[in-house]
Amino acid sequence: MRLIIGLMMAILVNIGLFTLMQQMTTANSVDRRVTEDIRLLDFVRLKRENRIETKKRELPKKPPPPQKPPPPPKTPVLQAKKPKAPTPKLDVPQIDVPLNIAGGPYLGDFATGPKVAPAAPAAPVVVPVMDDEVIPLVRIPPRYPRSASRRGIEGVVVVSFTITKDGQVTNPIVESAKPENTFNKAALKAILKWKFKPKIVGGKPVERQATQEIEFKLAK
């Protein structure tokens, strides 16, 4: 009997639980439908058409260009006549002037004796001592040392050198000098700038030795 009563009680309890659960599920479904309907109503909105009014802007009109002023009237230019001045006639005498404008010191002549020329101040006089076969083409006078010209010193330098096939001067050596070591540098620098006609032997130029005496004298 107890068993039957227990079974009956269990069946009733189960039936009651099923009914409660069914009611609860139906209530939740109703609530969900209501909330879904409300949410749908929130999202549905009508869009109003917004009309944008555009303003038209007109650019200002450009002013007309200014009219150019008329050109000024041309005034005639009066040309004044230049008076002709009478040219006086002058009797100019004819004068013969020698055209010796070199202005350098006289270096002497190799073929003949030394010529007399107007001496320049502090200019060296070159006295050549060579045979007639040596013909100079270029002769540059040496510069008078300042120290010697201030002291009034005069002297002589004898230089020996070699004339090459081209007529150039090489290996100049001071053979003697009076006074010593006063005019040596000036004489050597000058002789290196000289140029001679080379000696011809058998139709060919050859080297030869030569000697030059340079005398330094002050103008009086």
Name the band, by pLDDT with cuts 50, 70 and 90, for residue 21.
confident
Please determine, for residue 150, whether its predicted confidence score (pLDDT) is greater than 60: yes
Is 84 part of a structural domain of the chain? no
Is 140 part of a structural domain of the chain? yes
Q: For the domain that residue 165 is a member of, what is the CATH number?
A: 3.30.2420.10
Is 177 part of a structural domain of the chain? yes
Per-residue pLDDT tens for 155-210?
A: 999 999 999 999 999 999 999 999 988 999 999 999 999 999 998 999 999 999 99
Task: Pick the more confident residue, 114 or 25.
Answer: 25
Average pLDDT over residues 21-46: 58
Instruction: Count CB-CB contacts under 10 A for residue 138.
Output: 10
Is 154 part of a structural domain of the chain? yes
Instruction: Count CB-CB contacts under 10 A for residue 210.
Output: 21
User: Residue 161's pLDDT is what?
Assistant: 95
Per-residue pLDDT tens for 82-140?
A: 656 656 554 433 323 233 323 333 344 433 334 444 444 445 555 555 545 788 899 98
User: Residue 9's pLDDT is what?
Assistant: 86
Is 152 part of a structural domain of the chain? yes
Is 63 part of a structural domain of the chain? no
Is 166 part of a structural domain of the chain? yes
* Domain tally, the chain: 2
Q: What is the pTM of this model?
A: 0.42
Q: Alpha-carbon torsion 119, 124, 129, 134, what sign?
A: negative
Is 104 part of a structural domain of the chain? no
Cis peptide before 76 (omega within 30 of 0): no
Range of the domain at 182: 125-216
Please tell me the distance from the alpha carbon of residue 121 to that of residue 127, in angstroms, as a whole number. Answer: 17
